[in-house]
Amino acid sequence: MITARDIMHSGAQCINADQSLMDAARMMRDLDVGALPICGPDKQLKGIITDRDIVLRCLAVGKDPSMMKAMDLGGHLHCVRADDDMETVLKKMEQHQIRRMPVIDEHDKLVGMISEADLASGHRDGQRLTDRQIIEFMDSIYVNR
Q: Which residue range(s) make up the domain with 119?
A: 4-143
Identity of the residue numbered 123 = H
Report the share of the chain in percent with pLDDT over 90. 55
pLDDT at 145 over 70: no
User: Domain containing 28 — which CATH number?
Assistant: 3.10.580.10
Mean pLDDT (the chain) is 88
In tens, the pLDDT along 29-45 reads 999 999 999 998 887 89
Could you report the per-residue pLDDT of 88-130, keeping only the tens digit for each? 999 999 899 888 999 999 988 899 999 888 887 765 555 567 7
**Domains held by the chain: number:** 1
d(CA 8, CA 41) in angstroms, rounded, equals: 24
* One-letter amino acid for residue 83 of the chain: D
CA distance 99 to 43: 23
- Helix, strand, coil: what percent of the chain each, to 5? 40, 25, 35
